[in-house]
Chain A
Amino acid sequence: MAYYSDKLMDHFLHPRNFGEMKDPDGVGEVGNVVCGDVMKLFIKVKDNVITKASFMTFGCAAAIATSSILTEMVVGKTIDEALKISNQKVAKEIGGLPPQKIHCSVLAEQALKAAIEDYKKRKK
C-alpha cells in the first residue's frame, strides 16, 4: 500500500486483541456510521492498571490498525498514564498516518477516553 506503513498493514491484516470482552470494566464506543468509522474499546482494570483490552471496529484499514495498536499500547498502563495517550502517539506507534487518516488516530484516543470514563462511572 503506497500510503500505509508496513506496521499499519500488519496490524490491519493481522489485528491483535479483537472481539467482544466478557465482563469488561469499561466500554467506549465512538464515531458514527455517517463518517464510516466506529470504534468500540473494551478494557479490564485491576488496581488502577489496565490489564486487558480488546476492540471491535467498523472502518477502513487505518481505523482497524489504530484500534489494534491501541489495545497493545494501553495494557500495563495505569489509568492516568492511559489518559496521556494522545492521537499523535497512536499515529507514531502505527508507523505514521497519511493526513486524511489522522482522524482515525483521534478516534482511537477518544475511544480510550470514553472507555476510561465508562470505567470511572461504573466504579461509583
Chain B
Amino acid sequence: MKKDKKIIYLDNAATTPLDPRVLKAMIPYLKENFGNASSIHFLGQKAKEALERSRETIANFIGAKKEEIIFTSGGTESNNLAIKGVAFANEKFGKHLITSVIEHHAVLEPCHWLEKRGFKVSYLKVDKNGLVNLDDLEKTITDETILISIMHANNEIGTIEPIIEIGNLVKRVREKRRERKIETPIYFHTDAVQTFGHLPINVNELGVDLLSASAHKLYGPKGVGLLYLRQGVKIEPLLHGGAHERNFRSGTENVAGIVGFAQAVEIAKKEMNREYKKQIELRDKLIKGIFEKIKNVTLNGHPRLRLPNNVNISIEGIEGEAMVLTLNEYRIAASTGSACSSKSLKPSHVLMAIGLSEELAHSSLRLTLSRFTKNKEINYFLKVLPQVVEKLRKISPFYKK
C-alpha cells in the first residue's frame, strides 16, 4: 500500500483527526506556557486562566455552570467516575443501578465490577433498532435505585436514545419519592461521548445529572474528557491527591489538552448545525448507494433516530475483518463488529443485543463520517465496495449466486 497517498478515513467513531485550529490553540500550552495551573507565579497563573476560560466555554456550550465541569483523562474515566462515584457516595440509601445492554464497555465494566461488590444492576434490553423502552425502564425502577445510565447515542449502530423522556421520567420518580418521604436519591447519567459536539446538548433540557464526553471524538486531542456533575449530586472521587477539580479529580491538569477541548467546542458551536445537515446528506447518499450496488445487505440501527455520520451494515456471506483489511488496501479506513477483530473473540454485544445472528454480526461493517469527509470520497468508496464484496463472496462457502 502506497504510504504517501491520502487515506479515506471513515472510522470517525473510533477517533477523529485533530482540527488544525485546535492544534494551533494548543501549541502555546505545549511550548512557552507550560506552567502548572496550581503554581502561584505568573507561569502558573497563565495556565490557570487558560484552564478556567476553557471550563467556562465548555460549560456554556451545554447550559451548565462552570463549577459543574470536571476535567478527566477521557470518556472512560468520566464513565467510571460517574458510575462508581454515584454508587459509593449513595450506597447507604440504595444499591440498585439501571443501564442498558448496548452501553460502551466503559459503562458495562464498572457495572459488572460493582455487582461483584454487592450492588445490583439491571441491564435493560433494546428493540431491534437499538432503542430502550421507557415502560421497561419505569417498571425496573425500585425504591433502591440510585442511578440510571443510558447513552445518548450508540457508537456502533448510531441509534439515538430518548434522553429527554428518560430525564422527565427521572424527575417524576424524584417527585414521587419526595411525596412518599423516601430519602434515596436517583440520578441520571448519560454517556454523550458520541454526541457531544455533534448533536445539541443542554443539560437542563435533557434532564441529566451527569454527562460524559471525550475531546478526541470532536476533533480535539486524545487524553482529555469531562464529566458534567450537576450541583448537589454527591459522588466519591476515583483519584485522591492534590484536590484538583474541587476535590473530584486530583491530578495536574492537562492544560494543553483542555485548551484544545475548548477550541474544539468553539468550532462545534459555530459549525455543528451546518455539519449536521451536510453529514446526513452524505450518510444517506452512502446508504442509498450501498443498497443499490450490493445485494443481500442490511442496515443496523434505527433508520431515522440515528447519528448524522453513522452507517452500520451487514453484508451477507463475508466476514468483517476481511472486509476492513481489503478496504485498507484501497486506502479506506473502516471498522467492524466482527469477533475476529475484537480482543475478546466475541462478536459485538451491541449487534447481538439488537437480535442479529452471529453470522450477520461477524459480517458487519461500520463507516463513520467527519467534517472533513468529501463527496468524492463517498463516490470512490461506492466504486470500491462492490469489488471488495465480490472478491470475498467468491471464496465464501455461504454465498451462492
The residues of A with any CB-CB pair to B shorter than 8 Å are 1, 9, 12-13, 15, 18-19, 29, 33-38, 40, 55-64, 100
Contacts and interface: CB of A to CB of B under 8 A. Distances in A.
In the A-B complex, the 8 residue pairs with the closest CB atoms: A60-B340, A60-B321, A33-B359, A36-B362, A56-B397, A18-B395, A40-B397, A34-B358
B365 to A, nearest CB: 13
Interface stretch (B45-53, B322-330, B378-386): B322-330
B364 to A, nearest CB: 11
Contacts of B394: 18-19
Contacts of B80: none
B82 to A, nearest CB: 31
Contact of A59 (B340, B343, B347): B340
B317 interface: yes
Given A33-B362, A34-B358, A36-B319, A57 B395 contact: yes
Given A64-B322, A100-B345, A58 B398 contact: yes
Contacts, number: 69
Contacts of B362: 33, 36, 58
Nearest to A101: B340
Contacts of A55: 395
Contacts of A12: 322, 325
A59 to B, nearest CB: 5
A64 B326 CA distance: 12
A59 B327 CA distance: 15
B133 to A, nearest CB: 28
A2 B326 CA distance: 15
B357 interface: yes
A36 B339 CA distance: 7
A60 B358 CA distance: 14
A33 B357 contact: yes
B319 A60 contact: yes
Q: Which of B319, B325, B395 gathers the greatest number of chain A CB atoms within 10 Å?
A: B395
Size category of the B interface is 20 to 34
18 contacts: A13-B326, A15-B395, A18-B394, A18-B395, A36-B347, A37-B319, A56-B395, A56-B397, A57-B395, A57-B396, A57-B397, A58-B318, A60-B322, A60-B341, A61-B325, A62-B340, A100-B343, A100-B345
Nearest to A12: B325
Nearest to A37: B340
A13 B326 CA distance: 7
Given A1-B325, A13-B326, A29 B397 contact: yes
Interface in B18-63: none
Nearest to B395: A18
Nearest to A38: B397
A58 B345 contact: no
A15 B394 CA distance: 11
Contacts of A62: 340
A100 B328 CA distance: 21
Contacts of B320: 60
A59 B321 CA distance: 8
Q: Which of A55, A56, A59, A62 gathers the greatest number of chain B CB atoms within 10 Å?
A: A59
A11 B343 CA distance: 23
Contacts of B318: 58
A16 B340 CA distance: 22
B338 interface: yes
Given A13-B329, A40-B397, A64-B322, 13 more contacts: A19-B394, A29-B397, A33-B357, A36-B338, A36-B340, A36-B347, A37-B340, A56-B395, A58-B318, A58-B362, A58-B398, A60-B338, A63-B319
B358 A36 contact: yes
Contacts of A56: 395-397
B153 to A, nearest CB: 27
A60 B329 CA distance: 15
Nearest to A56: B397
B291 to A, nearest CB: 22
A64 B397 CA distance: 12
A77 to B, nearest CB: 23
Contacts of A34: 358
A15 B163 CA distance: 48
Contact of A38 (B322, B326, B398): B398
A33 to B, nearest CB: 4
A76 B270 CA distance: 68
